[in-house]
């Protein structure tokens, strides 16, 4: 009985795998990002030997752009999984290279006109100091327009949270605070992105 049940399960799994035929997908995305909030949390020991704890936020608007390219798979009629990378601006003179895993969902179908939503999580690599790997979250929605067969264009708006590390300077000597004197160095950039993407 156990052998018969195991055989039936294996046959079922094999038939599912044979029926599942994911299609490759590619995309190019151009975006405009408005960063409106920056927060920071510092905890460090400076040259006098005292500890400084500094937390704050700045409501200020910065315009940035992004250019991304992606490759992935249509894992079902309505769901796509892709990896995106390129160059994105997150703040004043602050650019990063993301490697983002993004899941997209089109209720009407990936090759049809209609609503599209996405969620992405990325490792980000700053292009200048400090070059410490950080992270980014990306949630958005918009409209997909079918152009021809497997070609479509997306227009989306998304909310982004990008994490970062800052260069902290000693208040007396103005020298860079070394990592072994830093307990916490953490900042966040909050922004809204408007993008257009070509999918094929």
Cβ–Cβ contacts within 10 Å for residue 106, how many? 22
Extents of the domains making up the chain: 22-199
In order of 14, 47, 76, 118, 129, the CA distances from 169 in angstroms are 60, 10, 51, 39, 13
Four-residue CA torsion sign, 185, 191, 194, 199: positive
What separation, in Å, do the N-terminal and C-terminal C-alpha atoms of the chain show? 49
Per the DSSP assignment, residues forming a β-bridge with 116 are 142
Residue 15 DSSP one-character state? H
128-131, long-range: CB < 8 A, 24+ apart = 128/93, 128/94, 128/95, 129/167, 130/165, 130/166, 130/167
Which tokens is 3 given? 């052998």
Q: What angle do CA 27, 155, 148 make, to 5 degrees?
A: 60
3-state secondary structure (DSSP) of residue 17: helix
The CATH code belonging to domain 22-199 is 2.40.160.20
Q: DSSP for 26-45?
A: EEEEEEEEEEEEEEEEEEEE
pLDDT given for residue 3 in this prediction = 54
- DSSP single-letter state for residue 174: -
pLDDT tens sequence for the chain (200 residues): 545 444 545 454 544 444 557 899 999 999 999 999 999 999 998 888 888 899 999 999 999 999 999 999 999 999 999 999 999 999 988 999 999 999 999 999 999 999 999 999 999 999 988 888 999 999 999 999 999 888 999 999 999 999 999 888 888 888 888 888 888 999 999 999 999 999 99
């Amino acid at each position: 009985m156990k052998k018969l049940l195991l055989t039936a399960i294996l046959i079922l799994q094999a038939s599912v795998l044979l029926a599942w035929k994911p299609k490759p997908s590619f995309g190019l995305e151009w975006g405009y990002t408005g960063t409106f909030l920056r927060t920071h949390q510092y905890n460090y020991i400076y040259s006098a030997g005292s500890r400084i704890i500094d937390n704050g936020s700045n409501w200020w608007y910065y315009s940035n752009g992004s250019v991304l390219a992606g490759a992935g798979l249509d894992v079902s009629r309505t769901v796509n999984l892709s990896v995106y990378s390129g160059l994105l601006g997150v703040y004043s003179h602050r650019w990063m290279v993301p490697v983002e895993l993004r899941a997209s969902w089109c209720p009407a179908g990936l090759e049809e006109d209609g609503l599209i939503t996405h969620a992405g999580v990325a490792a980000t690599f700053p292009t200048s100091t400090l070059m410490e790997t950080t992270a980014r979250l990306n949630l958005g929605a918009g409209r997909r327009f079918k152009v021809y067969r497997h070609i479509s264009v997306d227009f989306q708006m998304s909310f982004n949270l990008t994490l970062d590390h800052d260069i902290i300077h000693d208040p007396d000597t103005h020298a860079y605070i070394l990592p072994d004197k830093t307990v916490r160095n953490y900042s966040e950039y909050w922004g809204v992105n408007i993008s257009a993407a070509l999918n094929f």
